[in-house]
Amino acid sequence: MKKISVVVPMYYEESMVRPCHEKLTAVMQSLTSYTYELIFVNDGSQDATLSQLEAISLKDSCTKVISLSRNFGHQAAVTCGISYAAGDAVVIIDADLQDPPEVILDMIKLWESGYDVVYGKRQKRKGETFFKLITAKLFYRILNNLSDTNIPLDTGDFRLIDKKVAAVLVNLKEHNRFLRGLVPWCGFNQIPLVYERNPRLAGETKYPFKKMVKFAVDGIISFSSKPLRLIMKLGIFAIIIALFIFCYYSMALLTPNRVVFPALAWLIIIISFFGGVQLVSIGILGEYIGRMYDESKNRPLYIIDKTYNITTKKNIKKSSSIK
Ligand code: UDP
Ligand code: MG
């Protein structure tokens, strides 16, 4: 019998522990042809989250609990849960039931039909502030434009991944993790599943503005070196402006009435030219830094999905091989 693991990160979710466990258990038990496990990761909450999880784990053997030593953040907590998952597929879902657990059933159907990743795509987001809606919409669009990886729009962490994708993910050692980009980066057969996002059942968002900004910066910086290139482009633009003004007045010198360079023009030419040269120099440094950053992420050079007629495993350090 195949097994499904459900990973739930929890940070100050004491009001959600019981409803979340009940709802997920009901959904998972309706799947008679699968076994399941619920993996709750307490991400350093100091309220009753852990004690409640502990009480449930004593009664329910399908409930597994991991408690982190402090708050490491949502992405780290999810990664920890995935690394302990023993299922053939792993579902990631938030504790607040904003993502309806029934959708998991459809995700499993798509997985069974051959997809390795089924990601939830939010069609509507009920009960969110206007500010959150607009910033989220903008963020996904900017990220998608900047990034070299195709990161799906309006997609959160609610998704099902096959165990082979989970194995690749936990082996990616980078610290500022952005799973919404890392999963598409892994490749494999991915498909969206559209659903409506509900308001939070209880408690408050654990993503205040400051965390949201850090999350957005992680997403953009981990998946794009375009901001670094922008410096170079700005520099080149400034130099072109300087040269343009210089040429304009030089040509005017040749005309019969000989317009001389006004002092302001000299000032603009000198400032733009040397400003531009500095920006280009920073841009060149940026190119090197970008490359060093890429190397330091230590992502595998490639990921193998299947092999045919290959019996020996090639011993290349930076590759990740899955059969
Ligand atoms: N979360 C976590 N660690 C954190 C912040 C959040 O484990 O540092 C969990 C939180 O308990 C929830 C999920 O991540 O299960 C998503 O958080 P939330 O619902 O507050 O985010 P929002 O839906 O408002 O973006
Ligand atoms: Mg939420």
Q: In sequence order, what E strands does the chain have? A: 2-10, 34-42, 63-67, 89-92, 117-125, 155-162, 190-197, 303-304, 320-321
| Pocket residue to mutate for ligand 1, from 96, 128, 131, 139, most atoms within 8 A of Cβ | 96
Ligand 1 touching residue 206 (CB < 6 A): yes
* Of 193, 182, 206, residue with least CA distance to 74: 206
Q: What would the pLDDT profile of 198-234 be if each residue is shown by its tens digit?
A: 888 788 888 888 888 888 888 888 888 888 888 999 9
Ligand 1 atom closest to 78 (CA)? 7
Among protein residues, the one whose CA lies closest to atom 1 of ligand 1: 74
Instruction: Pull the structure tokens for residue 244.
Output: 């343009």
Domain boundaries, the chain: 3-223+300-320, 226-297
* Of 96, 43, 95, residue with least CA distance to 67: 43
Ligand 1 touching residue 13 (CB < 6 A): yes
Contact call for residues 37 and 6 (beta carbons, < 8 A) = yes
Architecture of domain 3-223+300-320: Alpha-Beta Complex (3.90)
pTM equals 0.82
| Closest ligand to Cα 136 | 1
Q: What would the pLDDT profile of 105-121 be if each residue is shown by its tens digit?
A: 999 999 999 999 999 99
Phi, psi of 194 (to 5 degrees): -80, 135
Weakly modelled stretches of the chain, pLDDT under 70 = 313-323
> How many angstroms separate the alpha carbon of residue 205 from the centre of ligand 1?
7
